[in-house]
């Protein structure tokens, strides 16, 4: 039987079947390949693995995925990796303002309810907070303490120390103190 199709015809048909270019088709030279006459023969060659297509070379996503995982953890955020101003990166200014102002107002209210500041101090400091005078809660507390407007500040400072003392391990026992009685001299009267 004479092969009318030839290897090029097999390549052309295989490319159509596998939906790729002819340059990606690889053919293993064997008796069956030379004898292929019809599309059905080429289909059988593909099934047996004598004709196959080469995988396209693409860009690997490994490094991209690795970088993404690191960014999720909070890495790769320093100056060289930044695009956009601080305000562009950190969300709307108003959101940040709301977050800080609410925490300061909450603190001021708690101090008033606990009796640590008077109502007069509360009404004085509420608009000062709104004016942006204090950066954060620590700053506000420091200012109140510095100007002697906080009551019971000393008691609050002592409480953590008490907790620290009780947290110490008590596994070691101190040796009992020996009672030393003075020696009686022979010429001593009672």
Concatenated DSSP letters for 84-149? S-HHHHS--HHHHHHHHHHHHHHHHHHHHHTTSS-HHHHHHHHHHHHTT--SSHHHHHHHHHHTT-
Within a domain: 107 = yes
| 3 state DSSP class of 17 | helix
* Domain span including residue 16: 6-53
Residue 183 lies in a domain: no
Q: How many CB atoms lie within 10 A of CB 103?
A: 13
Residues 107 and 137: their CA atoms lie apart, in Å, by 7
Cβ(14)–Cβ(46) below 8 Å: yes
Please indicate, yes or no, if residue 59 is contained in any of the structural domains: no
Number of structural domains the chain divides into: 2
Query: Mean pLDDT in each 10-residue stretch from start to end of the chain (190 residues)?
Result: 67 95 92 88 94 93 97 95 90 93 97 95 97 96 94 59 54 63 60
What's the confidence (pLDDT) of residue 90?
87
The answer to whether residue 72 is domain-embedded is no
Question: Same domain, yes or no, for 97 and 49?
Answer: no
Global pTM value: 0.45
Residue 56 tokens, joined: 């396209």
Residues 21, 15 contacting (CB under 8 angstroms): yes
**98 and 47: one domain?**
no
Does some domain include residue 171?
no
**Residue whose entry in the numeric block shows the structure tokens 């297509």:** 53
| Residue 154 parent element (H or E) | helix 153-167
């Amino acid at each position: 039987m004479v092969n009318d199709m030839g290897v090029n015809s097999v390549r052309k048909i295989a490319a159509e079947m596998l939906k790729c270019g002819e340059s990606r088709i690889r053919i293993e030279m064997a008796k069956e390949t030379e004898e292929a006459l019809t599309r059905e023969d080429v289909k059988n060659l593909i099934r047996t693995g004598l004709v196959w297509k080469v995988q396209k070379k693409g860009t690997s996503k490994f490094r991209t995925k690795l970088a993404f995982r690191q960014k999720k953890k909070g890495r790769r955020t320093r100056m060289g990796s930044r695009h956009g101003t601080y305000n562009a990166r950190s969300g709307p200014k108003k959101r940040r303002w709301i977050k800080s102002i609410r925490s300061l107002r909450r603190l001021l209210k708690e101090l008033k309810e606990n009796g640590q500041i008077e109502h007069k101090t509360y009404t004085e400091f509420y608009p000062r907070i709104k004016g942006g005078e204090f950066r954060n809660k620590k700053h506000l507390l420091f200012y109140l303490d510095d100007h002697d407007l906080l009551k019971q500040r000393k008691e609050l400072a002592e409480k953590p120390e008490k907790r620290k003392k009780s947290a110490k391990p008590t596994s070691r026992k101190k040796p009992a103190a020996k009672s030393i009685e003075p020696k009686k001299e022979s010429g001593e009267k009672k």
